[in-house]
Structure 1
């Protein structure tokens, strides 16, 4: 394919959330693997304070390695703006005190952002206003899936199985903390205290004693003033990768995979185990489940994807209990996406390579119109 005819893909990463470094690591994998014969790649970094800047196309610059946690900074780079409306899709480069300059148009955006201000519908709304196609779910699905509280509300309304939980809003914690603690006590122990709108297991605490609850809530509130507390469920953690169907076909799913925490230092699959201690976990695929449970899990994964109105990709996380019950834990609209992350790995084992998965997602985005759909 000639350079003139190649699709121009803006790879967007970094961002304002606490998952900034994870997003950079995801970009490292994608920049190394994306089909350069097919796509003209425009790496764009978002700083922790929200500026958009041209970013290095060198994947090694964005990897998480011993002693190096990547971060997007402005340095001397010009900042980028995205014009709104249907007039055009050219990026605009500017420096304070200088005349803005138009850059070449972008055909599609590949957002590799995790957490608030990227995965939660805010960026998706901006891209809708700009009339730019983008990979992944739209505004509502992104927002509802990012907020663990509203994910459960939607899934319960659709009749899908969820576990017991309670929510503590910022006002409730400030004005009725004792009542909030009493609601948590009714769930029994252990419980998992989580920021309602964060990912990568950041800010999550497993609480085995009620006297540790207040500290756990305060830890979660460092990342989100809204906290969700979930009852501990005795079960295995299993995951399923879902991919939007092409040409009105139903969503596709993989066989499930299982996360097995092998280190006693980690009481659950936490942030450190995910990204800094590769020997602490074993990712097993396919998960060793009865055939009927596997089939049911895949059906539930697709049903969860559709109940939330997702597009593009999602990873659906479950608990499989000793009694054979499947409980939906959460859905991630931008799951870990390095070559060694669970989502791409499950598709790789299913016959869709990492590069081909990226291509599939970009082409799905190009086929999908912006606006109401």
Structure 2
């Protein structure tokens, strides 16, 4: 059994009078009933399907999630089906959605639900919070929407709505601001249909109380909005200052052998954790090809010869500007394990389709295949000096 997660001490109740509660709660629910979008997870009462939608919607647009949610449910129709599936299958079904730690936690949580709760999600936010991947938001969302508990939620949309309604100061991430928002959400969710009310807050933030060009004239609670009264809607909440994406360079080993390529599964933590790839090591922008090959040799634990530089693939991630350098290599012996990776596997392109692989790595594989690496003949692209990169000492 996983240890119970520690939560922040509860904030003092926000000053929401009964009159103000009634002026916000009822109108927002009525507005939601008239204007909510017809989304597939709103047509089900299955807690598992609702949980899956909440996980997928983290950091991902609704339009992107819908087809993934439908395919994933068809492939893993229940908690027990998900729990019994190999992790590779789950990651494969998640391919293209990004933020793969969500899929790993989903799988881990499904197994705990089967082991600890007989395959049924617990009905309270407190119990849900003990499962992998369940933070305060996800626990509150599932508990309120699927089970009707008066559990609060605060995501980006809700935070923006509450910041404007109550004129909450502070930048996103500020502890005092976050405590105030959660206290307000806790006070407002009390009453009928807590799941629908939470969805009303989110829906209102997504479609009316938008970050830019909010539609205040369509707002059902405009008269009770402090920011609207004071002309501060555009400045609340203040934009979060985002750091510039960090440049990251990876060298990839493209190692063909009798119609197959070598693939490696990364460690569970870090970028692309637990996913399959053409074996990769981090390099610098100006790392010479011979040195990059040497690092790959060390990671794979075998001597490598650089045959050609094939291509570079660039991908813009949320926090990283990623460049993948494809190096065609060969070695004297074919490794089947290496301490730098969880697993090694020689696969045909068709077999690789079933592996959980990030979109960036899939693009790299497509580029390598586009250079004809599995075809007979001389290596395409720029030929490299035929030096052998020996694994270095200290492994």
Tell me the TM-score range normalised by the shorter chain. Answer: under 0.3
- Flag the structure with higher strand content: 1
* TM-score where L is the length of structure 2: 0.22
**Bigger fraction of residues in helix:** 2
